[in-house]
Chain A
Amino acid sequence: MNDHVDKRPDQLEARLRRMLGRRAEHASEGERLAASAHRGGHQLIARRRVLAGLTGVAAVAIAAPVGARVLGGPQPTRLAPTGPDERELPRKPVPLRIDLEKLPKGGPPRVPYYSAGDGVIRDGDRTIPVEAKPSDIVFFAPVEGGYVVQVGDLPATSALLDTDGTELLPLTPGNEHVAFALLPAISADGRRLAWSEWNGDAGKGTLMVADATGDIVGERPFGKGRYVWPVGFVGDRILLGSDADSGYAQLWNPDTDRATDLDLEGPFATDGSRHAIPGGSSAVFDARTGERLWRIDKGSASAGCMTKDGHYLLLQGGDNAEVLYVHDLETGRLLFQIRAVTRIDRAVPEPNGDLLLGVQQEIDDEYVMALVRCPVHGEAELATEPVSGTSAAPVALPVHR
């Protein structure tokens, strides 16, 4: 090594020491830390006791009886009964607890998933390369003949890819303050996608619609500082919501560019025939008649999503999203109340109705993640081995929208 190379690290190290010392002087005092830690500590101890109790009731997995409906947590008030026979419902709440250290190994996922360590989407026998670093967060959703992929946190890059990973159409990310709306909404047949392009400085943007082949088929400007985003497809039309106006809900037909106002408060999900609104009283409405089908009267669960197959409404709860409430979209019945040790990332139904979860868990001071299958009938099992990694999600399931 020459002299120049030898000396530079030492100079840098000295500069680092001085700079860090000066910066540290500007840290805040944290006067209320002791009191806050007392409160938090008590809550943590209490939570551990509750978890220990739950473990005693139903450790690791529950063998749910055929046709069983699992109760517990927020209960729905069914306003227009359309669901299964009441006799199929269990009499007692049955919680389900997921502990990655105790689950048996099961078959591989039956839906596509992203593997950050390999940098590929695995879709059956096919692997689709994604241009991402192992540390990147990747969101994706399948469309007909390809995938929509978002790489990175914020800022992010998004694109429509074909099944070889070739970029068909670059997508401009939306509003970073509405992170859940960054990925496009996708039609039920996977042939169309809709997203919002947003110019934060100008306070305006454009709704975009494209075929899954990459051809733009519709555009509609919006503005006045209100970010409008496509909640999802309702047939050929698109349900629109807004981040700044909870009363904003429109159905837009991109073919005719006509929009219809809906009497719907802050829609966050639709499966095409039903819309859901969030909050402490989540409710589901009939998309055709506007009739409220059911609502959840109580509960601390936050807004989640509907699964693409139209079977489930998923709501997350707990301080760290460690609880997942899985409701039957038809009736509002709570099917599963799934509690993970640390956190549940996302859930996707497999073709046979089993639910696949992305589960994160702290084990020996390290965070690992695995995909876990929760069959309607049977025991929970690992669909992938737990892995650690530098990405926020070393394994990621597709996003529903």
Chain B
Amino acid sequence: MVSEPLDFDSYVAARRRSLMRTAYLLTGEHHAAEDLVQTALTRAYAAWRRIKDSGAVDAYVRRTMVNVDASWWRRAWRRLERTTDTIPERAIPPPVVEDSEGDEQLWNAVQQLAPRQRAVIVLRYYEDRSEAETAELLGCARGTVKSTSYQALAKLRAALGADLTKADLTTKADLIEKDGR
């Protein structure tokens, strides 16, 4: 977390990579991730005088990111952006990722979650936020985070089905083997 008041450029330089990672997990797309971070930083820039001394710049930017991404307005706008009669720019190909533990299937399942559910999953399991912190960032009650997380995990389990059991057993077997037990 950034605790000292910074100038805007220093903040971006220090947090850019971290923000992009979270945005990529939230959106699942490189262009959308950049767009999301840019939107949050643009708002932060416009409000910089107000937020820079509060010691909560990072919280402000991340709160903006998760809420903007979860908002239906933004998703609707993305839909409209697809309405074009021109040839789209060449898309960035998806990253080639070694498919450890069936990552691809789990990643796809996460992408299928509702935006709010995905935000909870990313904040809880990537950023390692507590329920209280996640609730603060999402602007909702702690109980809502708990129930949203429960629903999201249930969806993921349902999506993975038998594969989850198989992969978990494999992982468990590997661990046992590594432990020499």
Contact = CB atoms under 8 A, between A and B. Distances in A.
Nearest to B81: A179
B164 A29 contact: no
A300 B98 CA distance: 46
Interface stretch (A41-49, A100-108, A378-386): A41-49
A80 to B, nearest CB: 28
Interface residues of B, number: 68
B37 A30 contact: yes
Q: Chain B interface secondary structure, helix, strand, loop or mixed?
A: helix
A16 B9 CA distance: 33
Given A12-B153, A18-B101, A33-B38, A244 B24 contact: no
A291 interface: no
Contacts of A45: 46
A350 interface: no
B73 A367 contact: yes
A25 B160 CA distance: 23
A19 B107 contact: yes
Contacts of A14: 171
Interface string A3-30: 0000011011111111111111111111
Contacts of A389: 72
Interface in B67-83: 67, 71-73, 75-77, 79-80, 82-83
A15 B171 contact: yes
Interface of B: 8-9, 12-13, 16-17, 19-25, 30, 33-34, 37-39, 41-46, 48, 63, 67, 71-73, 75-77, 79-80, 82-85, 92, 95, 97-98, 100-101, 103, 106-107, 110, 114, 116, 121-122, 125-126, 128, 139, 153, 156-157, 160, 164-165, 167-168, 171-172
9 contacts: A9-B157, A17-B128, A34-B9, A36-B41, A37-B41, A37-B45, A41-B43, A41-B46, A394-B72
Which 10 pairs between the two chains have the least Cβ-Cβ distance? A41-B45, A40-B42, A392-B76, A27-B24, A37-B41, A26-B95, A24-B21, A20-B126, A34-B12, A11-B168
